[in-house]
Amino acid sequence: MDTGTRIEQTLEAALAAGHRQNCPPLLAQAMRHAVFPGGARIRPRLTLAVARACEDADPAMASAAAVAIEFLHCASLVHDDLPCFDDADMRRGKPSLHKAYGEPLAVLAGDALIVLAFETLAEAPARRPQSLGTVLRVVGGAVGSRGGIVAGQAWESEPAIDCALYHQAKTGALFAGATMAGAAAAGVAHQDWRGLGEKLGEAFQVADDIRDVAATPQELGKPCGQDAAHLRPNYALAHGLGPAIAHLDALVLEAIAAIPDCPGRQDLGTLIGLTAKSFLPESLQRRAA
């Protein structure tokens, strides 16, 4: 089964399991709206790619980790879009969740996806019982108040922002969680995989800044120019488009160099180079080339 199919099927199965028992119908629909159709599924692909590069000793746990990471990513998008944050009307080319289902169900669908992420981990038939605790700590750390994505979003409420800490928490933490969870699911030392994830998160953030400045709303499925509108730091705004693209390319090379020794190191490097290309829409790649 190809990776994309594996991810969509596991997301589908976890959501369906979540909705068989006493789930209010509109909540179930709202959760599906948040998860399908997805974006590029970059983070769960990364989890599975790392697990595979480490010989994927426990594929069910790797799949569960990948899907947990994606549920948490989707939950963060739903809550970030709320009127009290970005007040976004569109996401992935369709109405944002609170526009489609109202604010109460947007808050609740986000909460429910956070819980479902952890339930999905708990329900994976782990080959080694110890691995559940490790994967859980890695995933929890990537999203919680200790430098995870919730902390990242919360920096926007502080009177002063440490920009590096902000991006590291808001974007880097979940990428690092994705690589470390793949390693932890495969039973190898997950800390060695933090550097790759952080570097890729940094690259993704620069790509996101470039997209916000240079892509069209059609390419993004959401409005552009949001960083300028919300006075958020943006690398491409600060340094210009050309230097931003050069910086992105350098970060991807640094990420590939940060892959720890493992049986599938070379294939993983190739895959990451290809994945990084998808960080920018095709038209922007052509314009950049």
**Which residues are at the interface with a copy of itself (CB under 8 A)?**
18-28, 31, 75, 79, 82, 84-85, 101-105, 107-108, 110-112, 114-116, 118-119, 121-123, 126, 129-130, 132-133, 136-137, 140-141, 143-148, 150-151, 153-158, 165, 169
**Shortest Cβ 75–a copy of itself spacing (Å):** 8
CA–CA distance, 7 with 44 (Å, rounded to integer): 7
The CB-of-228 to a copy of itself minimum distance in angstroms stands at 20
Report the alpha-carbon distance of residue 138 to residue 140 in Å, rounded.
6
Where b means 16+ CB within 10 Å and e means fewer, 166-181 reads bbbbbbbbbbbbbbbb
Among the residues of 36-185, which ranges form H helices? 42-53, 59-80, 97-101, 103-123, 129-143, 149-155, 163-167, 173-185
Least Å distance, CB 222 to a copy of itself, is: 19
| Min dist. Cβ of residue 30 to a copy of itself (A) | 8
| φ, ψ at 81 (rounded to 5°) | -75, -15
Is residue 90 classed as helix, strand or coil in its secondary structure? strand
- Rounded least distance, CB 138 to a copy of itself, Å: 9
Which CB, 114 or 203, lies closer to a copy of itself?
A: 114
Nearer residue to a copy of itself within complex by CB, 231 or 274: 231
Q: Which amino acid is at 157?
A: S
CB atoms within 10 A of CB 242: 10
| C-beta of 76 vs 234, nearer to a copy of itself | 76
Choice between 14 and 258, CB closer to a copy of itself: 14
Of the pair 25, 37, the CB lying nearest a copy of itself is at 25
Rounded to whole angstroms, the Cα distance separating 167 from 20 reads: 38
